[in-house]
Structure 1
Amino acid sequence: MAHTETTIRYTADVVVTTTDGYVLLIERGFAPFKGQWALPGGHVDPGETSREAAARELAEETGVHAAPQELDQIGAFDRPDRDPRGRYVTVAYHLTVLPGTAAEAGDDAAHAQWWPLNALPQLAFDHADILDAAAATAT
């Protein structure tokens, strides 16, 4: 069997929840999944850890600032078909904040909004699976 090279892209995502049962989502401003809701996140830049990228992307897309060490790792998500653009591997993190934490969309997010965990919209990519994993690690 011939081996074919595949470019693997490295990303980080953040599940931000409040102590009263809300999660912070962004509406994607660009394809893929433009107009759909997703977790804040993005590419890991050269010289950056996934945890550092998660904190940076969270601040850029939502205005919520956290030190990288405040983010707890949920796990890695690497299903080959998780992103229509190609092979993406993400490391997901969790952050708990107090109710009333302000969030404002920035960077490539069209909107940032708190959603009740029991009434979520359809999520882009495999972000519903990441939320499920976050809930499982919190119990």
Structure 2
Amino acid sequence: MFHEGETSRAAAVRELEEETGVHVAEDTLRLIGVWDQPGRDPRGRYVTVAYLATLPADTQATAGDDARDARWWPLTDLPQPLAFDHADILTAAAASIP
């Protein structure tokens, strides 16, 4: 969710911190892609702009704001099923890792 006058990159930094307690600098995020297919989310018309952040292995995530839980999952052992097109987003993110 954007705040007025906020870029998607700034929103990503803010949302990450609000939902997990993890802070990253805007200039460290890499754009993964935009998912905007109509009907991709049954809750309504949503556009996802996904960014990748590289964090130290010992980074802790703590649920905050409206998150019920926050934790890291290995890409090879993700909980199933993932919501709507989130598997596509994670596949694109994994493909962008050097």
If the TM-score is normalised by the length of the shorter chain, which range does it land in?
Answer: over 0.9
Cα distance in 2 for partners of 1:73, 1:119 equals: 24
Is 2:51 aligned against 1:105?
no
Aligned length: 97
Give a deviation string over 1:9-28, Cα, whole Å, max 9, x none.
xxxxxxxxxxxxxxxxxxxx
Residue of structure 1 equivalent to 2:33: 75
> Aligned letter for 1:84?
P
Is 2:18 aligned against 1:60?
yes
Greater RCO between the two (CA within 8 Å, min separation 6)? 1
> Aligned letter for 2:31?
Q
Percent of counterpart pairs with the same letter? 65
1:117 to 75, 80, 92: 75
Cα distance in 2 for partners of 1:90, 1:44 equals: 11
Cα distance in 1 for partners of 2:74, 2:16 equals: 19
Shift, 1:138, TM fit: 2.0
User: Which protein is richer in strand relative to its size?
Assistant: 1
Cα distance in 1 for partners of 2:74, 2:89 equals: 16
1:133 to 69, 88, 92: 92
Residue of structure 2 equivalent to 1:94: 52
Question: Which structure has the larger Rg?
Answer: 1
Structure 1: 4+ residue segments shifted above 4 A:
none
Shift, 1:125, TM fit: 3.1
> Aligned letter for 2:68?
A
User: Which protein is richer in helix relative to its size?
Assistant: 2
Instruction: State the superposition RMSD in angstroms.
Output: 1.1
Residue of structure 2 equivalent to 1:84: 42
Q: Which runs of 5+ in 2 are unaligned?
A: none
